[in-house]
């Protein structure tokens, strides 16, 4: 039964606290109980705790004793039981926002060949350094020395090309600052399903054959440490996440937005506990972002679009501080890293909005949030078999494993060759949020809470053509003390 329960929760994308598992195993029909409990959450929680179980059962018992008929699942409030705590009001806490990393005001690149050389060297050195500090790459050689080795070799390289042979083997061309070498991932090896994308930096362990080809035995990613748990703040405050509002588009969901506003202005205890709103780009629809966009616009002036957004955000309660980064529809350079919106636009908003670049590492009450709009997901989806726009959290996990937000150069994500590679995930965040794909989801990877933050735009003609079904008007909310997340639908 233990295995059945574990398989069930893993299929639902959640985890079961050991105490909750022990409790369930002592009950009759543990699987039915667990299934019923999960049905009371608006979305799968990160971890199902014993307290969740006891709370939900107490609520169901109370409801059953008040009604003559057995309590249906809908009597349980649409919020995870352990997400509710009494007496925590966001208005009781002053804002505590620090922007830790951001390109704004620091851009130096002009796009010369030298800039690109310097940019990729920085990427290689930082990620190579992370890799070499890993035990499994201790004593790694450079490629020139590895080539001459007759024994097992370990080295670090940047992938310049990935090819598949007629027999289904994959060959990676990998280079460091002085040399390059080809690496074979045999079709019948355990490495066959391993994802590799161009321009990522990885470690390789293998053997060199007499033709100077490396037969890979393992690929090593910079990744993030396994032994982390969520580092929360002591203050019981919460952050809500949204992106892709696309104000100015004919398909902006006015009614859903009005429902959201009504809830956050005068809603339940969860609404009152929201101290921050993190907005991860595509805040307006923009002008001239794609061909014939003017036919899809309700507001065809860029300032008019930001003014309308500012008016929408002005209706938020005073205790909500907004942190806003741009996306590929916003009025800043499209090349990443993107600086914060310019002063001429910032002045349209009131002082409760804090502007930062894309990406940014922002501390909210000491909880570090990496916010990235997510343009690179276009390149991940087109280069990695099995990834899709409906599963952005999978691409986000890859970004953390590769410690890079947009490793693939030359695809749909324009990258500005800054002196430093700002798209490297240098510090491990506590929360990692993206938008862009107009989907929604929460999950966790090695102690980092992952959030993909929905949209407030209905399906556009372009999305319809490409068969992309958005999941609009969902608001992920994360408790900054516990890391627990829920998604509220409007």
Minimum CB distance to Fe ion smaller for 327 or for 483: 327
Site stretch for Fe ion (CB under 5 A), options 144-152, 201-209, 244-252, 380-388: 244-252
Signed CA dihedral, 417, 418, 421, 422: sign only: negative
Minimum CB distance to Fe ion smaller for 107 or for 463: 463
For the record, the structure tokens of 101 come out as: 């990393």
Residue 388 pairs in a beta bridge with none
30-38 and 2-11 are packed helices; what angle lies between their axes, rounded to 10 degrees?
Answer: 20
Q: How far is the CB of 305 from Fe ion (least distance, A)?
A: 13
Minimum CB distance to Fe ion smaller for 271 or for 279: 279
Quick check: 445 and 428 in contact, CB under 8 A?
no
| Residue 282 contacts Fe ion per CB under 5 A | yes
Q: What is the distance between the alpha carbons of residues 264 and 240, in angstroms, rounded to a whole number?
A: 10
Which of 88, 176, 235, 244 contacts Fe ion by CB under 5 A? Answer: 244
Q: What is the distance between the alpha carbons of residues 183 and 216, in angstroms, rounded to a whole number?
A: 6
Q: What is the DSSP secondary-structure string of 87-153?
A: T--GGGS---EEEEE--TT-------HHHHHHHHHHHHHHHHHHHHTSGGGTTPBPHHHHHH-SSEE
DSSP one-letter code for 226: S
Q: What is the distance between the alpha carbons of residues 443 and 451, in angstroms, rounded to a whole number?
A: 7
Site stretch for Fe ion (CB under 5 A), options 26-34, 35-43, 203-211, 241-249: 241-249
Site stretch for Fe ion (CB under 5 A), options 54-62, 128-136, 166-174, 278-286: 278-286
User: Other C-beta atoms within 10 Å of 125: how many?
Assistant: 13
Residue 162 pairs in a beta bridge with 172
Quick check: 329 and 246 in contact, CB under 8 A?
yes
Q: How far is the CB of 435 from Fe ion (least distance, A)?
A: 7
Q: How far is the CB of 329 from Fe ion (least distance, A)?
A: 6
Q: How far is the CB of 378 from Fe ion (least distance, A)?
A: 9
Q: What is the distance between the alpha carbons of residues 352 and 344, in angstroms, rounded to a whole number?
A: 17
For the record, the structure tokens of 287 come out as: 């002008």
Minimum CB distance to Fe ion smaller for 106 or for 463: 463
Minimum CB distance to Fe ion smaller for 327 or for 359: 327
Which of 312, 404, 422, 436 contacts Fe ion by CB under 5 A? Answer: 436
Minimum CB distance to Fe ion smaller for 157 or for 327: 327
| Nearest in space to 229 (alpha carbons), one of 449, 48, 485 | 449
Q: How far is the CB of 71 from Fe ion (least distance, A)?
A: 40
Minimum CB distance to Fe ion smaller for 327 or for 476: 327
Binding map of Fe ion across residues 372-401, x = CB under 5 A, - = no contact = ------------------------------
Q: How far is the CB of 285 from Fe ion (least distance, A)?
A: 8
Q: What is the distance between the alpha carbons of residues 306 and 303, in angstroms, rounded to a whole number?
A: 5
Minimum CB distance to Fe ion smaller for 46 or for 377: 377
Minimum CB distance to Fe ion smaller for 52 or for 282: 282
| Nearest in space to 154 (alpha carbons), one of 89, 227, 112, 203 | 203
Site stretch for Fe ion (CB under 5 A), options 186-194, 238-246, 249-257, 353-361: 238-246
Binding residues with Fe ion: total (CB under 5 A): 5
Residue 60: in which H helix or E strand, if any?
helix 50-66
Q: What is the distance between the alpha carbons of residues 238 and 485, in angstroms, rounded to a whole number?
A: 9
Q: Which residue has the tokens 């050991």?
A: 18
Q: How far is the CB of 282 from Fe ion (least distance, A)?
A: 3
Q: How far is the CB of 354 from Fe ion (least distance, A)?
A: 21
Q: Which residue has the tokens 């007499």?
A: 210
Strand 448-453 relative to strand 360-364: parallel, antiparallel, unpaired? unpaired
Q: How far is the CB of 294 from Fe ion (least distance, A)?
A: 17
Q: How far is the CB of 260 from Fe ion (least distance, A)?
A: 17
Site stretch for Fe ion (CB under 5 A), options 43-51, 98-106, 115-123, 428-436: 428-436
| Nearest in space to 403 (alpha carbons), one of 256, 225, 163 | 225
Binding map of Fe ion across residues 313-342, x = CB under 5 A, - = no contact = --------------xx--------------
Minimum CB distance to Fe ion smaller for 312 or for 436: 436
Minimum CB distance to Fe ion smaller for 282 or for 296: 282
Q: How far is the CB of 438 from Fe ion (least distance, A)?
A: 6
| Residue 286 contacts Fe ion per CB under 5 A | no
Minimum CB distance to Fe ion smaller for 178 or for 465: 465
Q: How far is the CB of 117 from Fe ion (least distance, A)?
A: 29
Residue 374 pairs in a beta bridge with none
- Residues near Fe ion (CB under 5 A): 244, 282, 327-328, 436
């Amino acid at each position: 039964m233990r295995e059945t329960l574990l398989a069930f929760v893993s299929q639902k994308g959640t985890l079961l606290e050991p105490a909750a598992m022990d409790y369930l195993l002592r009950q009759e029909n543990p699987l039915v109980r667990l299934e019923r409990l999960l049905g009371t959450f608006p979305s799968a929680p990160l971890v199902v705790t014993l307290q969740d179980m006891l709370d939900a059962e107490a609520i169901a018992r109370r409801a059953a004793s008040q009604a003559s008929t057995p309590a249906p699942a809908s009597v349980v409030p649409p919020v995870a039981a352990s997400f509710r705590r009494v007496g925590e009001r966001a208005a009781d806490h002053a804002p505590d926002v620090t922007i830790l990393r951001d390109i704004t005001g620091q851009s130096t690149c002009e796009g010369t060949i030298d800039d690109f050389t310097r940019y990729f060297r920085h990427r290689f050195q930082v990620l190579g350094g992370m890799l070499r500090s890993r035990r499994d790459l201790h004593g790694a050689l450079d490629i020139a020395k590895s080539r001459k080795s007759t024994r097992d070799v370990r080295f670090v390289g940047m992938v310049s090309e990935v090819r598949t042979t007629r027999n289904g083997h994959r060959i990676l061309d990998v280079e460091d600052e002085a040399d390059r070498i080809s690496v074979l991932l045999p079709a019948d090896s355990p490495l066959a399903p391993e994802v590799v994308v161009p321009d990522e930096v990885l470690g390789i362990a293998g053997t060199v054959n007499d033709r100077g080809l490396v037969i890979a035995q393992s690929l090593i990613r910079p990744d993030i440490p396994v032994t982390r748990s969520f580092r929360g703040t002591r203050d019981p405050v919460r952050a809500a996440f949204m992106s892709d509002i696309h104000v100015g588009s004919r398909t902006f969901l006015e009614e859903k937005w009005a429902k959201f506003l009504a809830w956050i202005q005068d809603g339940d205890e969860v609404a009152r506990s929201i101290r921050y709103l993190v907005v991860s780009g595509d805040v307006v629809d923009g002008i001239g972002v794609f061909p014939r966009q003017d036919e899809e616009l309700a507001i065809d002036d860029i300032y008019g679009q930001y003014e309308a957004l500012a008016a929408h955000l002005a209706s938020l309660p005073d205790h909500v501080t907004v942190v806003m980064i741009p996306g590929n529809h916003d009025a800043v350079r499209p090349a990443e890293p993107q600086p914060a919106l310019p002063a001429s636009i910032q002045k349209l908003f009131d002082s409760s909005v804090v502007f930062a670049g894309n990406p940014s590492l922002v501390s909210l009450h000491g909880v570090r949030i990496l916010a990235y709009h997510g343009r690179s997901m276009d390149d991940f989806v087109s280069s990695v078999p099995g990834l899709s726009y409906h599963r952005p959290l999978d691409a986000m996990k890859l970004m953390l494993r590769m410690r890079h937000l947009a490793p693939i150069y030359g695809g749909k994500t324009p990258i500005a060759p800054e002196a430093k590679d700002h798209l490297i995930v240098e510090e491990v965040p506590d929360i990692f949020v993206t938008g862009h794909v107009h989907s929604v989801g929460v999950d966790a990877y090695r102690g980092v809470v992952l959030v993909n933050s929905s949209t407030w735009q209905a399906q556009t003609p372009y999305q319809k053509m490409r068969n992309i079904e958005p999941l609009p008007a969902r608001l992920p909310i994360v408790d900054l003390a516990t890391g627990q997340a829920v998604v509220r639908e409007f």
